[in-house]
Structures are given as C-alpha cells and as structure tokens.
C-alpha cells in the first residue's frame, strides 16, 4: 500500500515556517548542467520526488551527481547517452527539459514523448516548433522525439501560447546557438528569471527574462556556476492557505512576496488577514472567508498551481464563488474528492461553481496529482474529524516534508506506511 497522510482536523495552526526552494526552478537548473562540461553547484535543491527523477535522468545521460552539506553538484563532463527513456519521461513530464540542452551541446537528442497526464493533454509542440526554428531537424520515431543539429542558429521565435518549460527549453538551447535569438510571447514566471540568472552566471547573454520578450545572444561555450534557487511560491501559497483555512496565525518566511501578488490580492478579497513584508507573510485566518471569483492565467496572473488550494478555501466561504481554469483542461479532479468531505462544487468544462459550506467533514480521500493532494491536505486540516489522504506520493513529488512543516505549526498530521 502506498503511504498516506492521516490528519486530525480543526487545529488552528500557529508559528513560523520557512519555505524551500522552488521545484519548478530546480528542475530546469538541473537540466542546465547538460550545457557545460564544468560543474553546476546548486545551494538549496529541495529533496523531492521530481528532483530525484531529474537526477536519475541526468545520471543516465552521463552526469556525476553529488551532495555535500546541502549543496548539490552536477557535472556532465561528456554526454554519454542522449536518450531520455520513456520510463522516466512518463513519470515526470519536466524530463522534456533535457531536450534543448542536449541538442544544443551534443547535437542529438532522443526524448520520449510525454503523452497525456492527470491534468491535461499537455503537448510539447511549441518546444519542437521553436527548436526547428533554431535549425534542429525534428522527427518523431517510435514514440520518441529525435532532434539533430550541427550548431543551432539564432532566430526570432513567437510561440502560439505561453509555455513555461517551452520558454526554458528554448532559452537553454539558444544560449549555445550561433547568433541572437528573440523569444516572443515568452513565459514570465519567476522560475524563468531564476533560470536566466543561472545561465547568465554560466556565461550566457540574456536580456528581458521575466518579460514577454527575451533576447539571447548565443555563445560557443558555457562554464560552471554556483546558484541559489528561488523560493517556492506555490509551497509558500499552500502554507499561507493552511494558516487561513485553520483560522490560525502563521508567519511564512524565506519567500518572495512579489511572486505571490495575485494570490495575496485574492486572499485579501476573501477577508484573510495578511501582513506582507518582502520575504515573509503573516496570515491570520478569518472566522469565515468571503466568496470570490478566481481565474487562472500565466504569471503574473493567478497560478494554476494554486487553483486547487484556493478552491478548498472558497469551499468554506460565505457565499458562492466561481473558479475558472484556463491553463489545463482537466484540473478539477480535487473537486470530486472535496465533495466527499462535504464541499458543494459543480464543475462544467473549465468552470467550477462553489457554494460555500460552514465546515468540511473528515473522510478518506485520494490524491490524483500534486496540487490536488495539497488541496486535500488543506481540507483535512480544516475538517471536523479525521481525514486520510492516500496516494501521498503525488504530494512528495513537489513538497518537501509538508507534514513535518505543518506538524511544526501544531497540525495533527502523521504519515502512515
């Protein structure tokens, strides 16, 4: 039986808790190690399922990986093998981040096509279109993307939609291309800026990261670098909602509050008490949140990765809320599980209508994906009685010891084997 979390709900959380480094910045930073023969040192890589999968993939490709007092060192002296196998890509879509670096440095790459996942179809056509614009020959062979190029050539790339890992893949590939690449309609997430900071420390020339137009002047070689990964804004947001939903008083530290603006504005609208500093947020839960409408969009809009968690809070609001998911077509799996705890949620297409109830009841529930698991843990913290969240391996992919952090705030939460 996979591990589960058992939560005795109804305890207002109190205390101070730090956030870890961002999963979605750590994964591209690790992939960037493929761009150079020198070591990349990352000061604060979180210990997560997805990070372990990325390290396994890097080792398959020829990386030497070591950890020393919290610092992770990855060195790819030579690319030994340019294939990202289906077993790894199918467990973690972000494996596709090795495609750009491999083709740029090694000249070939074979990466399994990820296929669909719990939250949507998630094609990678924009990654491939961009690499083809940079001069790579792309073919699909037996479920694998095969990319080849002698040296990529800088060009203008306008993606049809905003894609986070697509922007990262193309930024990494363009860093070693000949000439200048301009990425238009680029994603603006803080994780993009963080990757640009690392690449710049490696010798890349990048301007405009964090805006919709990123300019990359290619260089023939990149060097090693040391980097500290940006704090995880989604973990921070999840902990903030944990404070709010339990009517607690929690201070979350080591975050960047500028990265949380859309969430904080929405929580303010819901009547959640917030004291916001540059790197910390104190949250005090209202007796009952006010209803609000939420629509997800690329950064700086409301993050899809916080949609499940805010829906859990709105499920307890005084009034009716509407949540619209615009990024992924199937990201409401938590709604049915929350209903098992007493929530009143109706979904239709990309919209969920939520009629707030005064309390949730503890129940056995099942996690379907990473952020849905976090939402169920939040519901369990607020609920009357005992909640058991099974398939907690989804949670472990992206949260570092969440139950330990919540436990330090007084939550009654335990992991069961």
Active site residues: 117
Q: What is the distance between the alpha carbons of residues 313 and 291, in angstroms, rounded to a whole number? A: 9
Helices (H), 82-184: 86-89, 99-106, 125-133, 164-175
Binding mask 165-184 for ligand EPU (x = CB under 6 A): xx------------------
CB of 300 to ligand EPU, least distance (A): 12
- Give yes or no for residue 371 binding ligand EPU (CB under 6 A): yes
The full length of the chain comes to 417
Binding test (CB under 6 A) with ligand EPU, winner from 30, 398, 402, 405: 398
Enumerate residues 6+ apart whose C-beta is below 8 A from 27.
50, 51, 54, 94, 97
User: Which range in 119-127, 192-200, 204-212, 285-293 contacts ligand EPU by CB under 6 A?
Assistant: 119-127
Could you tell me which stretch among 73-81, 115-123, 259-267, 356-364 binds ligand EPU (CB under 6 A)?
115-123
- How far apart CA 329 and CA 307 sit, in angstroms, is 13
Which region among 125-133, 216-224, 312-320, 402-410 touches ligand EPU (by CB under 6 A)? 125-133
The one among 126, 238, 246, 251 contacting ligand EPU by CB under 6 A = 126
Q: Judged by CB under 6 A, does residue 124 bind ligand EPU?
A: yes
Token pair belonging to 86: 């289906």
Among 73, 105, 110, 127, binds ligand EPU (CB under 6 A): 127
Residues 276-305 that bind ligand EPU (CB under 6 A): 304-305
Who contacts 221 (Cβ-Cβ below 8 Å, separation ≥6)? 36, 176, 203
Choose between 115 and 277: whose C-beta lies nearer to ligand EPU.
115
Give the nearest distance from C-beta 164 to ligand EPU in angstroms: 4
For helices 370-382 and 307-314, give the axis angle rounded to 10 degrees. 20
Compute the least distance from the CB of residue 116 to ligand EPU, in Å.
9
Q: Reduced to 3 states, what is the DSSP secondary structure of residue 121?
A: coil
User: How far is it, in rounded angstroms, from Cα 309 to Cα 379?
Assistant: 9
Q: Kindly tell me which residue out of 7, 11, 13, 27 binds ligand EPU, with binding defined by CB under 6 A.
A: 27
Shortest distance, CB of residue 133 to ligand EPU, whole angstroms? 13
User: Which listed range, 6-14, 71-79, 162-170, 243-251, lies at the site for ligand EPU (CB under 6 A)?
Assistant: 162-170
Question: Any contact of residue 55 with ligand EPU (CB under 6 A)?
Answer: no
Interatomic CA distance for residues 67 and 42, integer angstroms = 9
Out of 139, 140, 158, 161, which residue is the one contacting ligand EPU (CB under 6 A)?
A: 161
Residue 265's contacts (CB-CB under 8 Å, 6 or more residues apart) are none
Is residue 149 within 8 Å of 103, Cβ to Cβ? Answer: yes
Q: Could you tell me which of 229, 210, 232 has the C-alpha nearest to residue 299?
A: 210
Contact 248, 285 (CB under 8 A): yes
Is residue 120 close enough to count as binding ligand EPU by CB under 6 A?
yes
**Shortest spacing between CB 73 and ligand EPU, in angstroms:** 22
- Residues 117, 93: Cα–Cα separation, whole Å: 8
What is the nearest approach in angstroms of ligand EPU to the Cβ of residue 265?
A: 18
If binding is defined by CB under 6 A, does position 312 make contact with ligand EPU? no
Which residues would be at the binding site for ligand EPU (CB under 6 A)?
A: 24, 27, 93-94, 120-127, 161, 163-166, 304-305, 327-328, 370-371, 398
């Amino acid at each position: 039986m996979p591990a589960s979390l058992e939560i005795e709900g109804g305890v207002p959380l109190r205390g101070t808790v730090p956030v870890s480094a961002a999963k979605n910045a750590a994964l591209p930073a690790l992939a960037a190690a493929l761009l150079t023969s020198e070591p990349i040192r990352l000061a604060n890589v979180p210990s997560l399922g997805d990070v372990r999968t990325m390290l396994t993939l890097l080792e398959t490709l020829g990386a030497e990986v070591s950890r020393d007092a919290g610092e992770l060192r990855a060195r790819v002296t030579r690319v030994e093998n340019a294939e990202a196998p289906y077993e790894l890509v199918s467990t973690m879509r972000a494996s596709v981040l090795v495609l750009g670096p491999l083709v740029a440095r090694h000249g070939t790459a074979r990466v399994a096509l990820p296929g669909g996942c719990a939250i949507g179809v998630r094609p990678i056509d924009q990654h491939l279109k961009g690499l083809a614009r940079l001069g790579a020959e792309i073919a699909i062979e037996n479920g694998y993307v095969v990319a080849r190029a002698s040296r990529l050539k800088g060009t203008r790339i306008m993606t049809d939609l905003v894609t986070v890992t697509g922007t990262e893949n193309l930024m990494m590939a363009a860093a070693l291309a000949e000439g200048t690449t301009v990425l238009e309609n680029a994603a603006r997430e803080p994780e993009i800026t963080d990757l640009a900071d690392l690449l710049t420390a490696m010798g890349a020339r990048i301007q405009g990261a964090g805006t919709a137009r990123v300019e990359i002047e290619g260089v023939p070689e990149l060097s090693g670098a040391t980097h500290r990964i940006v704090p995880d804004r989604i973990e921070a947001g999840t902990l903030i909602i944990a404070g709010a939903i339990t009517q607690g008083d929690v201070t979350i530290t080591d975050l960047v509050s500028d990265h949380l603006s859309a969430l904080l504005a929405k929580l303010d609208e819901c009547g959640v008490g917030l004291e916001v500093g540059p790197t910390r947020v104190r949250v005090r839960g209202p007796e009952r949140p006010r209803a609000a409408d939420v629509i997800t969009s690329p950064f700086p809009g409301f993050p899809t990765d916080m949609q499940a968690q805010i829906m859990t809070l709105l499920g307890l609001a005084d009034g009716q809320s509407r949540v619209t998911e615009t990024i992924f077509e199937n990201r409401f799996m938590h709604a049915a599980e929350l209903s098992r705890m007493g929530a009143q949620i109706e979904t239709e297409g990309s919209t969920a209508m939520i009629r707030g109830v005064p309390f949730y009841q503890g129940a056995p529930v099942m996690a379907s994906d990473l952020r849905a698991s976090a939402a169920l843990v939040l519901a369990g913290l607020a609920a009357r009685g005992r909640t058991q969240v099974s398939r907690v391996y989804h949670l472990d992919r992206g949260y570092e010891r969440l139950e330990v952090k919540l436990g330090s705030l007084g939550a009654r939460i335990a992991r069961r084997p």
